[in-house]
Amino acid sequence: MIRILAGVFVFLFSINIMALEWSVRVQGEAWETEDLNTVVYGNGLFVAAGNFGAAFSSTDGIQWTDSPISPNSTASFNEIIWDDARFVAVGKSGIIFTSPDGSEWTDQSSSIGNNNVYFESVAVGDGGYVAVGWEGGASGGHRIYTSTDATSWTTQTSPVTTSSGKLYDVVWGDGQFVAVGSGGVVLTSADGVEWTVQTTTVTDASLFCVAFIDGLYYAGGGEMNACLITSPDGVTWTQRTIPMFDEYYSDIIRDIIPFGDKVAAVCEYLYTSTDGIEWDVEDLSDVADGETFYSAALSDEIAVLVGKYGTIISTPVSGLVTASLPRQINQQNKDGYALQQVFSNPANRLVDISITLPQNQSRVVVSVSDMQGRFIRTVFNGALKAGQHNMQFDASSLSPGQYICRLKSTLGVCHKSLLVAPR
């Protein structure tokens, strides 16, 4: 006979994932930190920025301070790069800022002349700078700008003319720019002016990121699940299989970076590969409470991930120090969304789970994992209406030890711990 004890999971801890040591702490008031969309390392400094003026800097990836880029608190940035001489930051409303040191920033947006442009990404190559994004409305679609000095920018024409098209990322590698976007589009250009559409098998999902690492291009994104393609030349692309974490779900990929001797694709999970073909998955929800990461950067020693609600985590790349992050209380404490009870019935070895939803949800996943985040079992996966719901699973096959019961929906992620002990 087994006994299962339930308790609220405390979000102030360190665990090992892939031999990486992460630590988490709550900093600031709940729900006051905006999403962080981008992080970069350059000139001995990590710089992270996001929505509505959110911006931080750090010399070690551990201690972070407020570091405003724009005096306008509504300015939202989607990407920052370092080109060995300056930081270049781009974002919504056609904004472009530059800085030689990550402290003093200059607004270069005047040469864009279009505050309806949503810049998503910027890259630098032999031919200068390329910034890509999109514009909404009937006359919208892809937007591409080039510059030789990151100060004066010139609009260019995309070969894709659909008004709904969006470009989300651009990278320079092996003598060319590669840009990716909605509908699985891939564009290549040697100079940022003349662009060619390349053929891929991805047509029903968006590609949100592209990287060039060790002679191979990687492009990632997804729709309901993760999508990742690779190419040796930017022209011929092969779709790769990304493992499902809980049998049914793999999170949309937001960024791809070198990661020690591996390549890492970043989202709510950490997908890693040594060859770009076979991929492993680790769940970061126990580190960051299910938050999604949008961007990652590396110094010689530290890897930093940033994302939803100002979440920042970091870890040593080799050997791998403890990271700290300003992050916010999970929505399990908000609006009646809760994993209320997890308790056992020793007579029939069933575990009773009670949850409360404040509104209808098209997809709710209740699962059990071990303390390393490895999936064990899906208890429920489907739609639920608002209100309280009770469900059961048979825990008689679980070995004695501590486990995590996890509730996930669009409202957030909740956890409760389970202690399975012989009786």
- Range picked from 12-16, 182-186, 343-347, 379-383 for highest mean pLDDT: 182-186
pLDDT at 326 over 70: no
**pLDDT, position 20:** 59
Ranges 3-7, 109-113, 325-329, 366-370, most confident: 109-113
Whether 9 contacts 342, CB under 8 Å: no
Identity at 143, one-letter amino acid code: R
E strands, 18-116, in order: 20-23, 25-26, 36-42, 45-50, 55-58, 65-66, 77-82, 87-91, 96-99, 106-107
Q: How many CA atoms lie within 13 A of 388 on its CB side?
A: 6
What DSSP character marks residue 34?
P
Contact 321, 309 (CB under 8 A): no
In order of 41, 101, 195, 292, the CA distances from 86 in angstroms are 11, 7, 26, 28
Compute the half-sphere exposure of residue 359: CA atoms within 13 Å on the CB side of its CA. 7
Nearest CA among 234, 227, 314, 322 for reference residue 265: 227
**Is residue 345 within 8 Å of 4, Cβ to Cβ?**
no
pLDDT at 243: 83
The pLDDT value recorded for residue 169 is: 98
Structure tokens that stand for 177 in this block: 């720019």
Residue 423's pLDDT band (boundaries 50, 70, 90)?
A: low
For 272-330, give the DSSP string: EESSSSS-EEEE-HHHHTTPPEEEEEE-SSEEEEEEGGG-EEEEESS-------EE---
Per-residue confidence band for 343, with pLDDT thresholds at 50, 70 and 90 = low
Q: How confident is the model at residue 151 (pLDDT cuts 50, 70, 90)?
A: very high
| Residue tagged 């514009």 (tokens) | 135
Domain parsing of the chain, residue ranges: 12-327, 331-422
Give the model's confidence band at 318: pLDDT under 50 very low, under 70 low, under 90 confident, else very high.
Answer: low
Domain 12-327 has CATH 1.10.3720.10: no
What is the dotted CATH code of the domain comprising 331-422? Answer: 2.60.40.1930
Average of per-residue pLDDT values in the chain: 81
